[in-house]
């Protein structure tokens, strides 16, 4: 679900993805991922041990990844997010993890690691890695904090052509459910689903573009062309650190959304199982956690490493939390398959203007 933004490596990866290509390196491990996660600073121990990065192939969203894997595409590791895991397990795409080979398994945030939906028959299938928020992000030169106090601002006709939300069904419906008063989308009724869909239809005329990745959103916001976005931490972190007048509003009347993504071992991977675990262990090192927070503005699942970081670093990245924020957060938990399929189909209709 989460694209990184403005590194040269990310631009190369995006171009490779657009061309349907992979970035070839170590042939013993192929990672199926979002563009941007091939940044070698995320797995320096792996490179030190094996002399090169894994080979990378890229997907644009998790449904595309799911369909491609079902059609026979082969890789060793993939990077889905929480709401997709049950579907991938039931489809037989994943191999159960040997958690004894994950050196920092006990350091992982238990509220991410131990979710029952990531398990089957007592075995784990998902290593949580990165987490963050999707939240109201705005240009402070063109909007005031009062202008974005409510998520209803996204549907206000006065913002026609100045809004952007992600071309991502999960984040879009997280916004819509929040805006219509739902915090627990896993138990949404048909009526609540219709209300959320109706909200997205009201937002659609205001949308300048549905952003596909952080780089495209940054371009829209740098010029002021878009001044209100439903965005991940990275947009605020990278743009504000570069001096752009960008802020986030985490305490809107209706709240924010949070998510966690991570790595899975694919059932028919052609490469080395040993290198899969070397890759995971490199990702879970405290140095990687620090880099993810300070360079990219995302949280890391290594709770011990996060606890050791200066609080001001977490605040600067927008990763701080309070009881009030947690109470007003829609957690992008695994969804019933029927509801998620309805969301996918309806979002495509909405984007097409129906």
Q: Which fold has domain 8-131+258-316?
A: D-Maltodextrin-Binding Protein; domain 2 (3.40.190)
- Give CA angle at 65 (59, 83), nearest 5°: 110
Q: Using CA atoms of 76, 79, 83, 88 in order, give the dihedral in degrees to the nearest 10.
A: -10
Q: 296: which residues sit within 8 A by CB, 6+ positions away?
A: 4, 234, 237, 238
Q: Which two tokens stand for residue 243?
A: 């001096």
Provide CATH code, domain 132-257+322-351: 3.40.190.10
Rounded Cα distance, 113 and 125, in Å: 10
Rounded alpha-carbon distances, angstroms, from residue 76 to 32, 45, 80, 284: 8, 18, 13, 18
Please report the pLDDT score of residue 9 as a whole number.
38
* Per-residue confidence in pLDDT tens, the chain, 354 aa: 454 443 333 433 444 443 344 666 789 999 999 888 999 999 999 999 999 999 999 988 888 999 999 999 999 999 999 889 999 999 999 999 999 999 999 999 998 999 999 999 999 999 999 999 999 999 999 999 999 999 999 999 999 999 999 998 999 999 999 999 999 999 999 999 999 999 999 999 999 999 988 888 999 999 899 999 999 988 998 899 899 999 999 999 999 999 999 999 999 999 999 999 999 999 999 999 999 998 888 999 999 999 999 888 887 777 876 666 678 899 998 888 899 899 999 999 999 999
Q: Is there a common fold for 8-131+258-316 and 132-257+322-351?
A: yes
Residue 322 confidence (pLDDT) = 61
- Sequence length of the chain is 354
What's residue 244's pLDDT?
96
pTM listed for this prediction: 0.84
**Under 8 Å between Cβ of 318 and 248:** yes
Q: Which sign, positive or negative, has the C-alpha torsion 125, 130, 136, 142?
A: negative
| Per-domain residue ranges of the chain | 8-131+258-316, 132-257+322-351
Q: By C-alpha distance, which of 57, 8, 55, 74 is closest to 269?
A: 74
Q: Give the distance from CA 290 to its chain's centroid.
A: 18
Query: Do the beta carbons of residue 31 and residue 54 sit within 8 Å?
Result: yes
Q: Which residues of 275-302 are buried (b: 16+ CB within 10 A; e: fewer)?
A: bbbbbbbbbbbbebbbbbbebbbbbbbb
**Residue 181 DSSP label:** T
Task: Give me the pLDDT at residue 327, please.
Answer: 80
């Amino acid at each position: 679900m989460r694209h990184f933004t403005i590194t040269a490596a990310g631009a190369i990866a995006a171009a490779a993805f657009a061309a349907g290509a992979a970035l070839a390196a170590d042939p013993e491990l192929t990672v199926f991922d979002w563009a941007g996660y091939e940044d070698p600073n995320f797995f320096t121990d792996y490179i030190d041990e094996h002399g090169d990065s894994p080979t990378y192939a890229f997907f644009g969203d998790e449904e595309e990844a799911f369909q491609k894997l079902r059609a026979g595409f082969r890789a060793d590791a993939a990077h889905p997010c929480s709401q997709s895991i049950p579907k991938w397990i039931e489809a037989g795409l994943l191999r159960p993890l040997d958690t004894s080979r994950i050196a920092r398994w006990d350091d992982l945030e238990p509220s991410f690691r131990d979710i029952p939906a990531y398990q089957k028959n007592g075995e784990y299938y998902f290593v949580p890695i990165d987490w963050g928020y999707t939240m109201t992000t705005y240009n402070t030169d063109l909007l005031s904090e009062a202008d974005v106090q409510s998520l209803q601002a996204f549907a206000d006709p006065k913002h026609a052509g100045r809004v952007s939300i992600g071309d991502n069904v999960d984040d879009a419906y997280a916004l819509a459910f929040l805006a219509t008063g739902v915090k627990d989308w896993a138990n949404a009724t048909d009526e609540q689903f219709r209300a959320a869909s109706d909200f997205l239809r009201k937002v659609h005329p205001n949308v300048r573009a549905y952003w596909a990745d952080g780089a495209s959103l940054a371009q829209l916001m740098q010029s002021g062309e878009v001044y209100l976005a439903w965005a991940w931490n990275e947009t605020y972190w990278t743009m504000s650190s570069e001096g752009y007048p960008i802020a986030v509003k985490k305490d809107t009347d209706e709240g924010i959304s949070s998510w966690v993504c991570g790595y899975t071992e694919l059932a028919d991977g052609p490469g080395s199982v040993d290198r899969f675990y070397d890759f995971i262990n490199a990702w879970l090192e405290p140095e990687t956690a620090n880099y993810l927070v300070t360079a990219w503005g995302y949280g890391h699942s290594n709770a011990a490493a996060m606890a050791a970081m200066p609080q001001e670093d977490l605040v600067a990245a927008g990763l701080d939390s309070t009881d009030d924020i947690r109470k007003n957060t829609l957690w992008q938990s695994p969804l019933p398959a029927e509801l998620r399929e309805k969301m996918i189909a309806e979002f495509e209709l909405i984007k097409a203007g129906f």
